[in-house]
Structure 1
Amino acid sequence: MVLKTFGWSFAVTALGLVAAVLYGGWAAFGIVAILSVLEISLSFDNAVVNAGILKKMNAFWQKIFLTIGILIAVFGMRLIFPVVIVAISAKLGPIEAVDLALTDKDQYQQYVTDAHPSIAAFGGMFLLMIFLDFIFEDRDIKWLAWLERPLAKLGKIDMLSACIAMIVLLITSMTFAANAHQHGGAHVDKAQTVLISGLAGLITYLVVGGLSGYFEDKLEEEEEREHEEEEEAERAGKPRSAVALAGKAAFFMFLYLEVLDASFSFDGVIGAFAITNDIVLMALGLGVGAMYVRSLTVYLVRQGTLDDYVYLEHGAHYAIGALAAILLVTIQYEINEFITGSIGVVLIAWSFWSSVRRNKALAAAEGKADAADKAEVSSGV
């Protein structure tokens, strides 16, 4: 099972490390290895959240996620995205931006650093909306019940998540963005840039998340009537509409996953510049890490881990909330990538430990109940 799921990741790791040695020797080998670990540590919560969505999709779309999705993740977000940032911020053509990335790495890093406020605002708002929608939803299973119960009651207020997100964005634009960190330690006013980028992130979430949610709801409705529709289709000799609807639902959930992955990758791409400003090594290292995140997502789905450890999804969403806050704070202040990755790992490990304790308590309760039933039977009661 492990080899089947992670086989491609192992192969990509070997190819990536060999390519690194051929490109820049053993020093490049070490840099790619470090970047791979950095990406995995920063994106483990991404894998847990992705698994919660991917388990609703069939085997075909899971394969699409591992093939086309990984191409988008590696080449789109880890290679093309940094170049696009430079092209837009420096008002350069795509070819000029690529040439700059390969020939003048220091200048390239400067452009990316100066574009960080807009990247952080977009990604921070998108992730913040994911977190807020999660904690304001009334769920049967609650992890931190003392906190989640009152928040679930507040969640009955329409558009509360969007209102809170916009308030956070306004405060951010008037505080952190007014003294945004730039290359070389300088600080400039990026309030307007952060405001526009944050609104773009909010709109992207509402559009993509809304469409995926709409088609997911429609799919659930169709599944409830699946048996009746199949009988009617067979009698009338007409194709069932549920197949086409499932395709639309899966497509928009796939699109939602890709936007979600893009938002998660912002901190990894920016953090990679603390290690190297070589775009080739960045693409290799972050690409290898992204492949493991994809494989881990599929592994969690196939093993049913989220069903067995019910608080994992909670921990991942709290990690998302922490990452959203960190991204917004980094508009003005630099935060070490170790801190960013550690917060997510700690929250997920805590939720896993809580899930294990819950499972043991349930098993103990069931054991006592079985023992009591046997005692009643043996006594003839």
Structure 2
Amino acid sequence: MQQENNLSAGGTRASTLSYFRWSFIVTVLGLALGAFLGWEMTGTVGGTLSIFFICAVLAVLEISLSFDNAIVNANKLKDMTPVWQRRFLTWGILIAVFGMRIVFPLLIVVIAANIGPWQAMVLAATQPDEYSRIMHDAHLPIAAFGGTFLMMVGLSFFFDHEKDVHWVKWLEGKMQRYATIRGIEVAIVLITVLIFSRFLEPAESQIFFSSAIWGLLTFLLVEVLGGLLDSSQEALQAGAKGGLGAFLYLEVLDASFSFDGVIGAFALTHNLFVIAIGLGIGAMYVRSMTIMLVERGTLAEYRFLEHGAFYAIVALSIIMFIQPLMHIPEVITGLGGATLIGISLWASIRWNRQNHEHG
């Protein structure tokens, strides 16, 4: 596709709308499919419009929850070779749309209900309420796993002794100073997990804690595996950066971001296929935003934008920890993340103006 070619080509920059061309096409096809599904399910105009509207709302929900995902993707992608950039933006989006929005919810039901994949698919099609109940019951371990992984992602950005740009200086300066203490992020995450697990019933607390440990181990294993894979690639091919290891890291990161959206989608509809259409449309916009951020060098142009995204990630991880205790609407989660990113963008523009004036 032309967009992928633009990523590593130093030619003229594409217009903003051109980045979203494929997203618009997928939106039209997805909403048309949603309307068709609505007609097949209900046979009424009202029912068709209802399914159409739910698909649109789910797409908006996914986009609002994934601003920070796009920024973190762009941050990692800018260090990847053009070959791996293209692979992530083609294979990666297939895994994101089909893997996380369709296969992942089915896999949860397969494990939770101890049934086969085909039976899970039949259950999703014929007994959506029972399917939704199983998904809801699995929310506790998912929240613990995803929240722990995302908190490690967020804290690893701030606890970096080489980090020289600070947005909230008094806080980030201290984090950078203490970054030389080995394992400080792990200690903070484990203390946070222990605190939240104390508020749960003993049986739930055990599930929460063990799932959180798996989330922590997954982060550490992906980091180790990524380092080994990428260092071996560098040995084979001089100058190669961020290959297979970075690809795996981004896929696990996307999965962690997707947990909240997939679970939250069941509040609007119990139909797996409607959820897949809505969230799939949203995932395409995340891909388009990622391409635009990388090609335009937006992260370099707006110096605090990454900071806002990583603060949003830490906030999302805490919300995921709170979810087993009390329900927090996904709208608040999405708006909270978008607000933090918006403030960081405004702070970046303000900093640029002040420094250009002094320059």
TM-score by structure 1 length? 0.84
Aligned counterparts of 1:147 and 1:6: Cα–Cα separation in 2: 37
Read off the aligned partner of 1:171 and give its amino acid letter: I
* CA distances 1:185-225 after superposition (whole Å, capped 9, x unpaired): xxxx3122112211111011001123324555787xx6xxx
Work out which of the residue numbers 348, 353, 357 in structure 2 matches 1:360: 353
Aligned counterparts of 1:311 and 1:213: Cα–Cα separation in 2: 27
* CA distances 1:269-293 after superposition (whole Å, capped 9, x unpaired): 1111111111110000000000100
Work out which of the residue numbers 68, 71, 75 in structure 1 matches 2:91: 68
Aligned counterparts of 1:241 and 1:269: Cα–Cα separation in 2: 39
Q: Give the 5 Å matches for 1:195-344.
A: 195-213=209-227, 241-242=236-237, 246=240, 249-344=242-337
Aligned counterparts of 2:227 and 2:295: Cα–Cα separation in 1: 23
Aligned counterparts of 2:229 and 2:350: Cα–Cα separation in 1: 36
Secondary structure of the equivalent of 1:190? helix
Give the gaps of 5 or more residues in structure 2: 1-13, 39-47
Work out which of the residue numbers 46, 58, 77 in structure 2 matches 1:54: 77
Q: Is 1:105 the counterpart of 2:128 in the alignment?
A: yes
Asked whether the equivalents of residues 229 and 244 of structure 2 are also in contact (C-alpha less than 8 Å), the reply is no
Asked whether the equivalents of residues 152 and 189 of structure 2 are also in contact (C-alpha less than 8 Å), the reply is yes
Q: Kindly, what percent of the aligned residue pairs are identical?
A: 48
Q: Is 1:140 the counterpart of 2:164 in the alignment?
A: yes
* CA distances 1:218-273 after superposition (whole Å, capped 9, x unpaired): 87xx6xxxxxxxxxxxxxxxxx8325x727x4111011000000000111111111
Aligned counterparts of 2:314 and 2:230: Cα–Cα separation in 1: 24
Aligned counterparts of 1:217 and 1:319: Cα–Cα separation in 2: 30
Read off the aligned partner of 2:169 and give its amino acid letter: A
The aligned residue for residue 93 of structure 1 is 116
Work out which of the residue numbers 37, 40, 62 in structure 2 matches 1:23: 37
Asked whether the equivalents of residues 78 and 294 of structure 2 are also in contact (C-alpha less than 8 Å), the reply is yes
Aligned counterparts of 1:283 and 1:51: Cα–Cα separation in 2: 24
Distance 1:270 1:19, change over 3 A: same
Secondary structure of the equivalent of 1:164? helix
Aligned residues: 335
* CA distances 1:329-364 after superposition (whole Å, capped 9, x unpaired): 101211111110111011100100000011001100
State the Cα distance separating 1:125 from its structure 2 match: 0.4
The aligned residue for residue 78 of structure 1 is 101
The aligned residue for residue 7 of structure 2 is none
Q: Is 1:149 the counterpart of 2:173 in the alignment?
A: yes
* CA distances 1:158-184 after superposition (whole Å, capped 9, x unpaired): 111111212222222222x328xxxxx
Aligned counterparts of 2:210 and 2:325: Cα–Cα separation in 1: 17
Aligned counterparts of 2:232 and 2:345: Cα–Cα separation in 1: 32
Aligned counterparts of 1:204 and 1:142: Cα–Cα separation in 2: 28
Distance 1:297 1:204, change over 3 A: same
Aligned counterparts of 2:175 and 2:354: Cα–Cα separation in 1: 26
* CA distances 1:32-80 after superposition (whole Å, capped 9, x unpaired): 1110000000111110111100111133222212211111111111011
TM-score by structure 2 length? 0.89
Aligned counterparts of 1:161 and 1:212: Cα–Cα separation in 2: 19
Q: Is 1:13 the counterpart of 2:27 in the alignment?
A: yes
Asked whether the equivalents of residues 62 and 298 of structure 1 are also in contact (C-alpha less than 8 Å), the reply is no
Aligned counterparts of 1:195 and 1:99: Cα–Cα separation in 2: 32
